[in-house]
């Protein structure tokens, strides 16, 4: 085992290991959400869940060690979430080391709980690797679409209304107060000018505002099933205005959820595409009045 330049990381048998971290469920007081203990427990979870976007932040030092600052310019992190964790449960991020000197490469990435339970699994890359990312390669027809109730009327080609979004300095400070990986570029000048938007606020910029109007009419508890973040001409910078747009490209259901897959992107004032996201957003059937048979009614 070797100690790396970042003293919190270790490498063994070609795998980078982050330190044990205790991710905080900052949204545990959001009543009626999957992050609320009472709501999550009623739906069969052990307690209010830590959002997958929070676990993504565990990878920041590993991505910098593996790919350098170029990851923030042309890097991707593609994760499918396997098991939920609760507030401050011990977790660790892992990343296979890329070949020395590789400019366009992709490696496996995953998150485990301290007891070995797999929390998330996927890939990380920089540049333009030959392979598809974990989510781009994932088959979307595992379950028959069937008759959707929650997402009735939502299907491939459903477009979100473009929205102006920004990560303010206050929002960045709020996230910095609880993140496990507060690198200096998140709070002060970076090689690209001002502070770089952190990964969890990046997800919010690419999702929350454009999906809000549609999501508010569904009447069901949602949770992240998968997230792929792509820096296209990155990074996103704090205080900059961007236009978010996107559309749904697939819908489906599992025994417990209905879900939609969608792609969104952020363009700067000149129209340059800066960042993109692929997301699976799930809705718990048992939380919807449209599934009375699952609510015990």
What average pLDDT does the segment 198-209 reach?
Answer: 96
Tokens of 47: 């307690």
- Are 150 and 283 a contacting pair, CB within 8 Å? yes
In the chain, the percentage of residues whose pLDDT exceeds 70 is 92
pLDDT at 26 over 90: no
Who wins on pLDDT, 42 or 124?
A: 124
The predicted-structure confidence for 55-64, as pLDDT tens digits, reads as follows: 999 999 999 9
Q: The whole model's pTM is what?
A: 0.94
Q: How much is the pLDDT for 30?
A: 63
Q: How much is the pLDDT for 219?
A: 87
pLDDT band at 1 (very low <50, low <70, confident <90, very high): very low
What average pLDDT does the segment 275-288 reach?
Answer: 95
Q: How far apart are CA 185 and CA 88, in angstroms?
A: 25
Tokens of 283: 């809705």
**Weakest mean pLDDT among 3-17, 160-174, 249-263:** 3-17
Write the CB contacts of 123 (distance below 8 Å, at least 6 apart in sequence).
76, 77, 78, 106, 107, 108, 109, 131, 133, 134
Work out the angle at residue 132's Cα, subtended by the Cα atoms of residues 162 and 148, and round it to the nearest 5 degrees: 55
- Tell me which residue has tokens 């170029």: 70
* SS3 category, 9: coil
Query: Max Cα separation, the chain?
Result: 60
What average pLDDT does the segment 110-124 reach?
Answer: 96
pLDDT band at 100 (very low <50, low <70, confident <90, very high): confident
Cβ neighbours of 3 (radius 10 Å): 10
List the one residue out of 244, 53, 281 whose CA is nearest residue 159.
244
Query: Would you say how long the chain is, in residues?
Result: 297
86: which strand partners? 49
The predicted-structure confidence for 210-219, as pLDDT tens digits, reads as follows: 998 888 788 8
pLDDT at 27 over 70: no
Q: Is 19 exposed, middle or buried (0-12, 13-18, 19+ CB in 10 A)?
A: middle
Tokens of 17: 């290991």
Q: How far apart are CA 119 and CA 4, in angstroms?
A: 25
Work out the angle at residue 184's Cα, subtended by the Cα atoms of residues 273 and 118, and round it to the nearest 5 degrees: 75
Q: How much is the pLDDT for 257?
A: 94
Give the C-alpha distances (Å, rounded to integers) separating 51 from 96, 105, 144, 259, 278: 23, 27, 27, 16, 16
What average pLDDT does the segment 269-273 reach?
Answer: 98
pLDDT at 44 over 70: yes
pLDDT band at 7 (very low <50, low <70, confident <90, very high): low
pLDDT band at 182 (very low <50, low <70, confident <90, very high): very high
Q: How far apart are CA 277 and CA 263, in angstroms?
A: 6
Q: How far apart are CA 120 and CA 224, in angstroms?
A: 11
Distance spanning both ends of the chain, measured CA to CA: 56
223: which strand partners? 282
- Are 145 and 155 a contacting pair, CB within 8 Å? no
pLDDT at 208 over 70: yes
């Amino acid at each position: 085992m070797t100690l790396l330049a970042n003293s919190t990381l270790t490498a063994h048998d070609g795998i980078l290991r982050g330190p044990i971290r205790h991710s905080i469920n900052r949204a545990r007081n959001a009543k009626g959400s999957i992050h609320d203990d009472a709501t999550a427990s009623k739906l069969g979870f052990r307690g209010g869940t830590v959002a997958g976007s929070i676990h993504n932040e565990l990878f920041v030092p590993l991505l910098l060690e593996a790919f350098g600052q170029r990851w923030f310019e042309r890097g991707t992190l593609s994760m499918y979430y396997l098991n939920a964790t609760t507030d401050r449960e011990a977790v660790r991020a892992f990343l296979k080391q890329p070949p020395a000197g590789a400019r366009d490469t992709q490696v496996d990435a995953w998150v485990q709980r301290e007891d070995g339970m797999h929390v998330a699994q996927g890939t990380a890359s920089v540049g333009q690797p030959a392979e598809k990312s974990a989510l781009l390669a994932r088959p979307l027809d595992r379950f028959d679409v069937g008759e959707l109730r929650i997402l009735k009327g939502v299907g491939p080609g459903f477009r979100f209304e473009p929205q102006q979004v920004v990560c303010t300095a206050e929002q960045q400070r709020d996230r910095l107060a609880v993140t496990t990986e507060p690198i200096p570029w998140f709070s002060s000048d970076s090689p690209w000018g001002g502070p770089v938007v952190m990964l969890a606020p990046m997800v919010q910029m690419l999702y929350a505002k454009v999906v809000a109007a549609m999501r508010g009419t569904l009447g069901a508890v949602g949770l992240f099933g998968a997230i792929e973040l792509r820096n296209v001409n990155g990074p996103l910078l704090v205080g900059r205005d961007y236009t978010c747009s996107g559309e749904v490209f697939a819908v489906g259901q599992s025994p417990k959820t209905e879900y939609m897959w969608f792609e969104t992107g952020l363009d700067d004032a000149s129209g340059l595409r800066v960042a993109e996201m692929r997301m699976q957003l799930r809705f718990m059937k048992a939380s919807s009045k449209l599934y009375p048979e699952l609510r015990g009614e």
